Amino acid sequence: MAELQLTPPRKERLADKLYGQILEQILNGAFKEGDRLPAENDICSAFSVSRPVVRQALIRLQADGLVYSRRGSGTFVRAVPPSAITRFVLPSNVAGYLKSFEVRFALEAAAASLAAERRSSQNLHNLDEANELLREKIMNGQSPSEADFNFHREVAVASGNDLFVSLFEHLRGEISGSMGVALNLTKLGSDERRIAVLREHQQIVEAIRARNGEHAALYMRYHLVRARERITDAQRDP
Amino acid sequence: MAELQLTPPRKERLADKLYGQILEQILNGAFKEGDRLPAENDICSAFSVSRPVVRQALIRLQADGLVYSRRGSGTFVRAVPPSAITRFVLPSNVAGYLKSFEVRFALEAAAASLAAERRSSQNLHNLDEANELLREKIMNGQSPSEADFNFHREVAVASGNDLFVSLFEHLRGEISGSMGVALNLTKLGSDERRIAVLREHQQIVEAIRARNGEHAALYMRYHLVRARERITDAQRDP
Amino acid sequence: MAELQLTPPRKERLADKLYGQILEQILNGAFKEGDRLPAENDICSAFSVSRPVVRQALIRLQADGLVYSRRGSGTFVRAVPPSAITRFVLPSNVAGYLKSFEVRFALEAAAASLAAERRSSQNLHNLDEANELLREKIMNGQSPSEADFNFHREVAVASGNDLFVSLFEHLRGEISGSMGVALNLTKLGSDERRIAVLREHQQIVEAIRARNGEHAALYMRYHLVRARERITDAQRDP
Amino acid sequence: MAELQLTPPRKERLADKLYGQILEQILNGAFKEGDRLPAENDICSAFSVSRPVVRQALIRLQADGLVYSRRGSGTFVRAVPPSAITRFVLPSNVAGYLKSFEVRFALEAAAASLAAERRSSQNLHNLDEANELLREKIMNGQSPSEADFNFHREVAVASGNDLFVSLFEHLRGEISGSMGVALNLTKLGSDERRIAVLREHQQIVEAIRARNGEHAALYMRYHLVRARERITDAQRDP
């Protein structure tokens, strides 16, 4: 069985640090899909922390879909993020990107639902344009990160509630970063993956056009879950 | 039938302005529960705007639960906010407060669910303390607004994702304002209303204590819907 | 520490049987709030079953809010249902009642949301009448179980989709049973509890009246969660 | 503008009848995408019914995604179901199939979430087998309707709550019918459509395997929304 190579930290936020170190070793292939992580006690010793810290880190890795635990048998690596990811992002940033998805699930699903209810013809026009620009960037192999940010920002604008726009822009750093990673991976990926990304955006637009708030929220959540899995899981395609 | 007294504006954001003017006349009693608003065409003329602007304003009033429309018969006032509200807030600010609830529904329900999953003993301890402080303020008739903000902030902290805290603080202005209004109304209200506010906070804490994420999100949404209705609707008690 | 008194079964559905036996001992006070259940291995031996069976039963008790588990420290009793419950129901039936709530959360929240969208004036009239009848029964101390069933059935009818009615009636046995228990406990309980039950029904009606589907679903879920907790948890009042 | 050809009925359930007649004329091409339906008053006269009946029928057509209404301008045909549909189903049955989706959204999303929490290894094994059988049927061009029903039934079984199974079987008639239509349309459709159907089922299985209840519910809802749109909307592919 593989051994975790751990360096005891000096600083606070121990669980975050531990999360980052384990993530890094999953990213660089030291732990592979199906591998069992060391027992909690062993991680405690190796990392010089108490059990609550270890549990916190494991819960986060589990919430991020990187490991799963079986009652009584331990914690296992669920999926290895694509090694290509390391070309675009420091492992230590991945945690931040994944964290931004938790906020986006909540915020953007609500914004999409309201956008379907309230969007003006002008909002719809802007969404169509943003979507078209994104399509061109992706099909031409150009960096689509800004176009993607702009598309999601237009959904927030169409909600008619400017607080959604303001919060979305407050998250610009994390969101742009994670979009850059996800879309760069898409660029490297198969045609099927590119088409999936475009289809997901199109479904959001169509639900907003049809004024179907429930579907708009559903398609937004689906898109974000898929985008997140495109970062954490190379195997699942598209 | 009552007549809307409308002043044509010179500035942008016409729908927002129109929303504010109609709201003001509901607040000051010119339109009462069950009154029909003038036809869209008449509002267009009176306010010198096009129909899309009028529709946008009506949709917002409807979304805020202040009016309802019956297909083919028009738009009616649903509930008159308590006149006491005007002691604490300018009608022109009410719209902003109501808008903040839309964001909070999404953000705080997600934070509560994650808090139930991930909260440490320390998080729970802080929540209990924040809740106890809120109880004292309300029972002693002191301004509970800061204690309320702090309680909700502790839920965000317990989510283990600092982006929830950061966004929540970004909304501090709107949230504190709406809390001030809601809680001042509570102070003026019946004992039953005070007890309802405390029970709602307690239910959130208990669900987080029991690590039940689904219930934590449900109780948070319920609390926010009730808090919002305590602002827009004097009749429903508690 | 208390000891579980277990009788090895001869029949199938071992996890169900085990669930029932543990529940019974929580109901009759052999295990109290905060007590730790024996280790999984010990339950395996005492009940002559394999670990997956024990885990299945524990997961169900946890899902039913009767126990909670702390990673690494074991499983603890969360709340003792009111002893009064045993006047109205065999412990072996409680599991079935609790199970029916899982289905009702899904089914009735969806029906309430559609009812808000589609209800006719006649539907609303029938709902008001059913609600009024329920109020009388509860205030007069008569058995409200049939009136309660009828209220919830009217919500399903107002959804405009007769499959909701048909499924609801398919569950009549379990639902009536659990209503009988919950409402009998309410009758025994405080005035505050009675008022809470009536307020919850009223909130559902008001959201359907106001054609607010999101609120109707929320109030229905809240009501069902509270009703369920009135069965499993005597301490929380109302 | 096209004219609705309407025959006044003698029987009850007028809104249902009216829904069926309008649907039929959309299905047979008398009304095309973007066409405006006659005004409510004109439908009242042509069908000899009161306005509430007409509104009820229009709300249902809107809920089913077949028409949309613009405040003040009328009701328009949103999407024409594929004409191929008439090979497999009487227009008068389509309404029933669409109705079953409303129930399934609620019921199966809840079952999928619980399945992710509680599934045993045996449940997972059965799901994998049911999924594999469905894949073979679809790839070999055989009727996949029974295999599809069986897949969804296994999800209900894995929820560990037999009431989900019992309700699902209670709906067997409507569900099998709608599956037959949707999957026959898939058989006629593009490879891309077939692959989409298989991918959607696979995503549900993977979320249940990973014990991710939130994702399992999301993927189930997404699948059912897509399946429903494959019936009502020929243009959207896949």
Residue A63: CATH number of its domain: 1.10.10.10
The residue whose two tokens read 């569900």 is D175
Say whether both B218 and B186 belong to one domain.
yes
| Average pLDDT of chain D, as a whole number | 80
Minimal-distance CA residue of chain C relative to D56: C118
- A76 part of a folded domain: yes
pLDDT of A8? 45
Closest CA to D27 of D112, D68, D103, D84: D84
A235 and chain D in contact, CB less than 8 A: no
Do A73 and A35 form a contact (C-beta atoms < 8 A)?
A: no
Pairing verdict, β B74-77 and B67-70 = antiparallel
What is the rounded distance in angstroms from the CA atom of residue A9 to the CA atom of residue A228? 29
Do B24 and B95 form a contact (C-beta atoms < 8 A)?
A: no
Say whether both A119 and A170 belong to one domain.
yes
Is there a cis peptide before residue D91, judged by omega within 30 degrees of 0? no
Neighboring chain D residues of C164 at a CB cutoff of 8 Å: 102-103
**D235 has pLDDT over 60:** no
Q: Does D59 contact C161 at a Cβ distance shorter than 8 Å?
A: no
How many Å lie between the alpha carbon of D7 and the closest alpha carbon of chain B? 24
Average pLDDT of span B41-61: 79
Neighboring chain C residues of D121 at a CB cutoff of 8 Å: 52
| Average pLDDT of chain C, as a whole number | 80
One-letter amino acid identity for A52? Answer: P
What is the rounded distance in angstroms from the CA atom of residue D238 to the CA atom of residue D236? 6
Average pLDDT of span C108-122: 93
**C84 has pLDDT over 60:** no
Of B110, B117, B167, the CB nearest to A167: B167
**Rounded to 5°, angle at Cα A28 from A24 and A31:** 85
Return the structure tokens found at A149: 């940010």
Selected residue of B71, B73, B212, B218 to mutate for chain D interface (largest D Cβ count, 10 A)? B71
Of A212, A215, A225, the CB nearest to D215: A225
pLDDT digits (tens, 9 = 90+) for D24-43: 777 666 787 788 888 888 88
With contact defined as 3+ CB pairs under 8 Å, the chains touching C are A, B, D
pLDDT of A205? 96
Do A22 and A4 form a contact (C-beta atoms < 8 A)?
A: yes
How confident is residue D238, by pLDDT bands cut at 50, 70 and 90?
very low
- D182 part of a folded domain: yes
Of D78, D210, D225, the CB nearest to A78: D210
Q: Does D55 contact B40 at a Cβ distance shorter than 8 Å?
A: no
Cross-strand pairs, C77: C67
Report the domain count for chain C: 2
Choice between B218 and D32, residue whose per-residue pLDDT is larger: B218
What is the rounded distance in angstroms from the CA atom of residue B99 to the CA atom of residue B101? 5
Average pLDDT of span A97-105: 87
Do A35 and A27 form a contact (C-beta atoms < 8 A)?
A: no
B194 and chain C in contact, CB less than 8 A: no
Q: What is the dihedral of CA C22, C27, C28, C32, to 10 degrees?
A: 80
Domain enclosing residue A35, as ranges: 14-80
D29 CB-contact burial (10 Å; exposed 0-12 / middle 13-18 / buried 19+): exposed
pLDDT of C2? 46
Of B60, B171, B174, the CB nearest to A160: B60
One-letter amino acid identity for B13? Answer: R
- Helix/strand/coil percent split, chain B, to 5: 70, 5, 25
Cross-strand pairs, C36: C76
Choice between D185 and D179, residue whose per-residue pLDDT is larger: D179
Return the structure tokens found at B211: 């690590």
Neighboring chain D residues of C61 at a CB cutoff of 8 Å: none
How confident is residue A142, by pLDDT bands cut at 50, 70 and 90?
confident
- How many other CB atoms are found less than 10 A from the CB of residue D132? 13
How confident is residue C68, by pLDDT bands cut at 50, 70 and 90?
confident
- How many other CB atoms are found less than 10 A from the CB of residue B208? 30
**A234 has pLDDT over 80:** no
**How far is residue B201 CA from its own chain's centroid?**
16
**B226 has pLDDT over 80:** yes
- A5 part of a folded domain: no
User: 3-class SS at A13?
Assistant: coil
Return the structure tokens found at C94: 């409680």
User: Of A32, A54, A80, which marks where a domain is finished?
Assistant: A80
Q: Output the CA–CA distances (angstroms, integers) from residue D120 to B208, D36, D208, in the order listed.
A: 27, 53, 10
Pick from C177-191, D124-138, D218-232 the range whose average pLDDT is largest. D124-138
A171 and chain B in contact, CB less than 8 A: yes
Say whether both B97 and B197 belong to one domain.
yes
- B131 part of a folded domain: yes
Say whether both D25 and D107 belong to one domain.
no
Selected residue of B120, B204, B214, B222 to mutate for chain C interface (largest C Cβ count, 10 A)? B222
Do A41 and A58 form a contact (C-beta atoms < 8 A)?
A: no
With contact defined as 3+ CB pairs under 8 Å, the chains touching D are A, B, C
pLDDT of C237? 44
Do D71 and A120 form a contact (C-beta atoms < 8 A)?
A: no
- Helix/strand/coil percent split, chain A, to 5: 70, 5, 25
Average pLDDT of span B138-165: 91
- C210 part of a folded domain: yes
Q: Output the CA–CA distances (angstroms, integers) from residue B189 to B80, B135, B184, C193, C197, in the order listed.
A: 16, 16, 9, 21, 21
User: Of C54, C80, C106, which marks where a domain is finished?
Assistant: C80
The residue whose two tokens read 């420290």 is C73
- Tell me the percentage of chain B whose pLDDT exceeds 90: 32
Do A68 and D117 form a contact (C-beta atoms < 8 A)?
A: no
Exposure of D57 in the CB half-sphere (CA atoms within 13 A): 21
Average pLDDT of span D77-99: 64
Name the A residues in 3-62 with CB < 8 Å from any C CB.
40, 51, 55
Say whether both C217 and C125 belong to one domain.
yes
Of A2-11, A124-133, A229-238, C119-128, the range with the lowest mean pLDDT is A2-11
Neighboring chain D residues of A222 at a CB cutoff of 8 Å: 218-219, 222
- How many other CB atoms are found less than 10 A from the CB of residue D203? 22
How many Å lie between the alpha carbon of A174 and the closest alpha carbon of chain B? 10
Q: What are phi and psi of C210, to 5 degrees?
A: -80, 5
Q: CATH number of the domain that B104 lies in?
A: 1.20.120.530
User: 3-class SS at C90?
Assistant: coil
**A198 has pLDDT over 70:** yes
How confident is residue B99, by pLDDT bands cut at 50, 70 and 90?
confident
Neighboring chain C residues of D106 at a CB cutoff of 8 Å: 106-107, 109-111
- How many other CB atoms are found less than 10 A from the CB of residue C11? 7
Minimal-distance CA residue of chain A relative to B97: A163
What is the rounded distance in angstroms from the CA atom of residue B56 to the CA atom of residue B71? 16
- Give, rounded to a whole angstrom, the gap between the first and last alpha carbons of chain C: 31
How many Å lie between the alpha carbon of B55 and the closest alpha carbon of chain D? 8
pLDDT digits (tens, 9 = 90+) for A42-80: 888 777 777 877 887 888 787 666 788 776 778 888 766
Is there a cis peptide before residue C52, judged by omega within 30 degrees of 0? no
User: 3-class SS at D67?
Assistant: strand
Return the structure tokens found at A183: 């879309």
Q: Does B55 contact D40 at a Cβ distance shorter than 8 Å?
A: no
Say whether both B129 and B190 belong to one domain.
yes
A70 and chain C in contact, CB less than 8 A: no
**C94 has pLDDT over 50:** yes
Say whether both A62 and A91 belong to one domain.
no
- How many other CB atoms are found less than 10 A from the CB of residue C12? 8
What is the rounded distance in angstroms from the CA atom of residue D209 to the CA atom of residue D220? 14
User: Of A64, A80, A96, which marks where a domain is finished?
Assistant: A80
**D88 has pLDDT over 60:** no
Of A142-146, C178-182, D130-134, the range with the lowest mean pLDDT is C178-182
pLDDT of D47? 74
Neighboring chain C residues of A71 at a CB cutoff of 8 Å: 55
How confident is residue D186, by pLDDT bands cut at 50, 70 and 90?
low
What is the rounded distance in angstroms from the CA atom of residue C175 to the CA atom of residue B149? 40
Say whether both A104 and A162 belong to one domain.
yes
Say whether both C104 and C211 belong to one domain.
yes
pLDDT of A10? 37
User: 3-class SS at B10?
Assistant: coil
How many Å lie between the alpha carbon of A111 and the closest alpha carbon of chain B? 8
**3-state per-residue secondary structure call for D172-207:** HHHHHHHHHHHHHHHHHCCHHHHHHHHHHHHHHHHH
C73 and chain A in contact, CB less than 8 A: no
Q: Does D68 contact A211 at a Cβ distance shorter than 8 Å?
A: yes
Of B109-123, C79-93, D101-115, D134-148, the range with the lowest mean pLDDT is C79-93
pLDDT of C111? 97
- Give, rounded to a whole angstrom, the gap between the first and last alpha carbons of chain B: 31
- Distant-in-sequence, close-in-space partners of B38: CB < 8 Å, separation ≥ 6: B1, B3, B4, B46
Say whether both A26 and A129 belong to one domain.
no
Q: Does B121 contact A163 at a Cβ distance shorter than 8 Å?
A: no
- Distant-in-sequence, close-in-space partners of C179: CB < 8 Å, separation ≥ 6: C145, C148, C149, C227
Pick from A197-201, A229-233, C7-11, C82-86 the range whose average pLDDT is largest. A197-201
DSSP B72-87: TTEEEE--PPPGGGGG
What is the rounded distance in angstroms from the CA atom of residue C221 to the CA atom of residue C105? 6
Selected residue of D40, D71, D211 to mutate for chain B interface (largest B Cβ count, 10 A)? D71
| CA atoms A136, A139, A142, A148: torsion sign | positive
**A183 has pLDDT over 60:** yes
Choice between D41 and D124, residue whose per-residue pLDDT is larger: D124
Minimal-distance CA residue of chain B relative to C218: B222
How confident is residue D236, by pLDDT bands cut at 50, 70 and 90?
very low
**How far is residue A131 CA from its own chain's centroid?**
20
pLDDT digits (tens, 9 = 90+) for C146-163: 899 999 999 999 998 889
With contact defined as 3+ CB pairs under 8 Å, the chains touching B are A, C, D
- Tell me the percentage of chain A whose pLDDT exceeds 90: 32
Long-range contacts made by residues B189-196, C-beta under 8 angstroms, separation at least 24? B189/B230, B189/B237, B189/B238, B190/B237, B190/B238, B192/B237, B192/B238, B193/B230, B193/B237, B193/B238, B194/B138, B194/B139, B194/B238, B195/B238, B196/B226, B196/B238
- A9 part of a folded domain: no
D211 and chain B in contact, CB less than 8 A: no
Name the A residues in 121-160 with CB < 8 Å from any D CB.
none
A102 and chain B in contact, CB less than 8 A: yes
DSSP A131-156: HHHHHHHHHTT---HHHHHHHHHHHH
Say whether both A119 and A197 belong to one domain.
yes
Say whether both C74 and C96 belong to one domain.
no
Do A147 and B47 form a contact (C-beta atoms < 8 A)?
A: no
C188 and chain B in contact, CB less than 8 A: no
**How far is residue C105 CA from its own chain's centroid?**
10
- Helix/strand/coil percent split, chain D, to 5: 70, 5, 25
C211 and chain A in contact, CB less than 8 A: no
- C9 part of a folded domain: no
Return the structure tokens found at D42: 């004109």
- A166 part of a folded domain: yes
Q: Output the CA–CA distances (angstroms, integers) from residue D36 to C125, D68, D78, in the order listed.
A: 33, 10, 10
How confident is residue D12, by pLDDT bands cut at 50, 70 and 90?
very low
**B229 has pLDDT over 60:** yes
Neighboring chain A residues of B60 at a CB cutoff of 8 Å: 118, 160
